[in-house]
């Protein structure tokens, strides 16, 4: 587990985007994916908004995915296993990099064919608590023709990242503009933020 933590941190230091190819085990990723699909079958996902509770809006021309917030109150064993891994990573990050992270929030994100999310920053103008963004992908057998890549914009080094199962991406929430390109296949992830309140 520490190897995947170190991979995230080392690649983040190198080019502002941390990537660990196997942050989630195949077993955990598969279980989370099945749970997400079950939630979707039960129609428990909701349209994703833009902004936070103080200034929330919905605009399908900017963002068209659906989400479901993870919560320890659900007492779901797969969500709890994911939370345990995130908490272990936060401890490692705080001890090795003095990051000062005190909390987190995560949601499932489901993109159907044709869905996208235009260029944006993850930190709100009226609330700077989000310090790092983390995205863990749940897509097995992903093909280049499926689209749905994460495109991170940097001055001299735009990165297009395929959403393959087990991969986790990590970057500062207030620095990097990014987008999700149009997907041609169902695309699943857990997206969230490490926070300092």
The per-residue pLDDT for 52 is 58
Q: Is the pLDDT at 132 greater than 70, yes or no?
A: yes
Confidence of residue 55 (pLDDT cuts 50, 70, 90): low
Q: Flag whether 14 is in a domain.
A: yes
pLDDT in the model for residue 48:
85
Write out the H or E segment, with its range, that includes residue 109: strand 103-111
Is 18 domain-assigned?
yes
Give the DSSP H or E segment for 150: strand 150-153
Residue 90 CA: distances (Å) to CA of 14, 64, 107, 127, 194: 19, 30, 17, 21, 8
pLDDT tier for residue 49 given thresholds of 50, 70 and 90: confident
What was the pLDDT predicted at 127? 74
3-state DSSP assignment of residue 143: coil
Asked whether residue 134 is domain-assigned, the answer is: yes
**pTM reported for the whole predicted model:** 0.93
pLDDT tens string 77-131 = 999 999 999 999 999 999 999 999 999 999 999 999 999 999 988 876 667 899 9
How many domains would you assign to the chain?
A: 1
pLDDT of 61 reads 81
pLDDT of res. 76: 97
- Please check whether residue 55 lies inside any domain of the structure: no
Could you tell me if 107 and 188 are in contact, meaning their C-beta atoms sit under 8 angstroms apart?
A: no
How do residues 156-182 score in pLDDT, each as one tens digit? 879 999 999 999 999 999 999 999 999
Query: Does some domain include residue 34?
Result: yes
The residue-averaged pLDDT of 186-197 equals 95
Q: In the sheet that 150-153 helps form, which strands lie side by side, from edge to edge?
A: 117-120, 177-180, 150-153, 159-161
Average of per-residue pLDDT across 26-47:
97
Is 187 a member of any domain?
yes
Q: What percent of the chain has pLDDT over 90?
A: 83
Tell me what the pLDDT averaged over the chain comes to: 93
Do the domain assignments include residue 56? no
Buried b vs exposed e over 5-27: b needs ≥16 C-beta within 10 Å?
A: bebbbebbeeebbbbbeebbeee
- Give the residue numbers spanning the domain of 32: 1-46+63-195
What is the predicted pLDDT for the residue at 60? 77
Q: Residue 53 falls within a domain, yes or no?
A: no
| CATH code, domain carrying 89 | 2.60.120.620
């Amino acid at each position: 587990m520490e190897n995947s933590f170190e991979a995230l941190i080392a690649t983040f230091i190198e080019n502002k985007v941390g990537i660990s190819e196997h942050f989630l085990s195949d077993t955990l990723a598969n279980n989370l994916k099945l749970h997400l699909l079950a939630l979707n079958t039960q129609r428990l996902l909701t349209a994703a908004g833009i902004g936070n509770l103080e200034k929330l809006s919905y605009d399908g021309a900017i963002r068209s995915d659906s989400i479901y917030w993870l919560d320890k109150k659900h007492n779901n064993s797969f969500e709890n296993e994911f939370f345990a891994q995130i908490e272990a990573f936060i401890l490692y990050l705080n001890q090795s990099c003095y990051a000062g992270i005190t909390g987190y929030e995560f949601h499932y994100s489901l993109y159907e064919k044709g869905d996208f999310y235009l260029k944006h920053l993850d930190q709100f103008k009226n609330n700077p608590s989000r310090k790092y963004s983390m995205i863990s992908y749940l897509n097995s057998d992903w093909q280049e023709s499926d689209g749905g890549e994460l495109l991170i914009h940097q001055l001299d080094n735009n990165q297009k990242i395929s959403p393959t199962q087990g991969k986790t991406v990590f970057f500062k929430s207030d620095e990097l503009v990014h987008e999700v390109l149009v997907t041609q296949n169902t695309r699943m992830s857990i997206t969230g933020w490490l926070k300092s309140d």
